[in-house]
Amino acid sequence: MTATTIYEALKWASSFLENASREPKVAEILIKHELSMTQAQLISSLRENMASHTFRSYKAKIELHAQTGIPVQHLTGEETFFDRTFQVNADVLIPRPETEELVDHAIQTVKKKDWTDLTCVDVGTGSGIIAITLALELGDTVEKMYATDISDSALMIAKKNAGILNAPVDFFQGNFLSPLIDQGIKADILVSNPPYIDRGEIGQMADTVKNFDPELALFAENKGLLAYETILEQAKAILTEEAVILFEIGYQQGEAVTDIIHSTFSKSNVQVLKDINGKDRVVLAEVENTVRL
Ligand code: GLN
């Protein structure tokens, strides 16, 4: 076989993926990973030959992605979130750009309120992206950052990420807020991207999602609302008197989640915020927790 330049490999992979109705951009992400190169290194090396064993391994991964829909993040083992690299695997939901918007709303809310010494909790942390990013971005404003997950294997990844990124987060295993209730912890800010997809929608979901992201992170009963119902019920026991809740939601769930919050906390101010694509994506609620348990 004649030598293949990096440029030729990239060109082959992009059109192969395009013909298979996959994202051509995956070609570039994978080649950088395969060659351990940054974007700048890739650009300046395009005319260089690729070692034949490297090309074979690259080609096999491109073909596997095209055929099965395995997410590129499962092939590289990482994803960028809020400019930081997080380790991911099949035990955690792959970070989505929509969740960066959730985190950004949380940061802006805290800054606007001029709060200090906050206690925050990320419920169903998965790879840890929300808790870790908030801990690092908010710095001293946050006194305590907690994160929970029911999945031990997800928590292993989250703890690994917190270690690599040097983020002060305390992780607990358990169902949504149960571990905080058990420990008698109170929180000022509750952030969560819980499972919110109704199983009935599985037919419309991409194979890259439905066959590879953990079911536990995707689906919820009661039309995808059960996680919100459970978390809010539990929140009565852990929220401070003046607290903020931020949820990522499915684009058709704004009204339903608003109703659940209003019926759980009678004194609450709820806003539904749109994502960059103009879809309802975040619920931001300021709540007065008058419940005394
Ligand atoms: N936003 C994800 C998706 O639609 C779902 C994650 C979730 O249910 N929290 O793929």
Six token digits for residue 292: 């005394």
What pLDDT does residue 292 have? 60
Q: Which of 94, 176, 193, 277 to mutate to test the pocket of ligand 1 (most atoms within 8 A of CB)?
A: 193
* CA-219 nearest atom, ligand 1: 8
**Residue with CA nearest ligand 1 atom 5:** 218
**Residue with CA nearest ligand 1 atom 2:** 218
**Facing residues of 78 across strands?**
87
**Would you say the CB of residue 96 lies under 6 angstroms from ligand 1?**
yes
Convert the pLDDT of each residue in 199-208 to its tens digit: 999 999 999 9
Cα 169 to ligand 1 centroid, rounded to whole Å: 23
**Would you say the CB of residue 281 lies under 6 angstroms from ligand 1?**
no
C-alpha to C-alpha distance for 71 and 30, rounded to whole angstroms: 11
Six token digits for residue 100: 């960066």
179 annotated binding-site participant: no
Average pLDDT over residues 169-175: 98
Six token digits for residue 101: 């918007």
176 annotated binding-site participant: yes
228 annotated binding-site participant: no
Cα 193 to ligand 1 centroid, rounded to whole Å: 8
Per DSSP, the residues of the chain read: ---EEHHHHHHHHHHHHHHTTS-THHHHHHHHHHHT--HHHHHHTTTSEEPHHHHHHHHHHHHHHHHH---HHHHHSEEEETTEEEE--TTSPPP-HHHHHHHHHHHHHHHHHT--SEEEEEES-TTSHHHHHHHHHHGGGEEEEEEEES-HHHHHHHHHHHHHHT---EEEESSTTHHHHHHT--EEEEEE----B-GGGGGGS-HHHHTTS-HHHHB-HHHHTHHHHHHHHHHHHHEEEEEEEEEE--TT-HHHHHHHHHHH-SSEEEEEEE-TTS-EEEEEEEEE-----
**Would you say the CB of residue 216 lies under 6 angstroms from ligand 1?**
no
**Residue with CA nearest ligand 1 atom 6:** 218
State yes or no: pLDDT of 293 exceeds 70: no
CA dist list (Å): 288 to 77, 174, 244, 266: 41, 25, 9, 8
Average pLDDT over residues 135-162: 98
126 annotated binding-site participant: yes
State yes or no: pLDDT of 170 exceeds 90: yes
What pLDDT does residue 1 have? 52
**Would you say the CB of residue 92 lies under 6 angstroms from ligand 1?**
no
State yes or no: pLDDT of 3 exceeds 90: no
Convert the pLDDT of each residue in 215-250 to its tens digit: 999 999 999 999 999 999 999 999 999 999 999 999
What pLDDT does residue 138 have? 97
Q: Which CATH class is domain 90-288?
A: alpha beta
**Would you say the CB of residue 196 lies under 6 angstroms from ligand 1?**
yes
Six token digits for residue 84: 């930081």
**Facing residues of 284 across strands?**
246, 271
Q: Which of 88, 103, 197, 215 to mutate to test the pocket of ligand 1 (most atoms within 8 A of CB)?
A: 197
pLDDT band for position 115 (cuts 50, 70, 90): confident
SS3 assignment, position 197: strand
196 annotated binding-site participant: yes
Q: Which among 133, 170, 172 is positioned nearest to 149, based on CA atoms?
A: 172
C-alpha to C-alpha distance for 216 and 233, rounded to whole angstroms: 20
125 annotated binding-site participant: yes
Domain ranges of the chain: 4-68, 90-288
Q: Residues for the chain: how many in total?
A: 293
Average pLDDT, the chain: 96
What pLDDT does residue 241 have? 95
C-alpha to C-alpha distance for 136 and 183, rounded to whole angstroms: 24
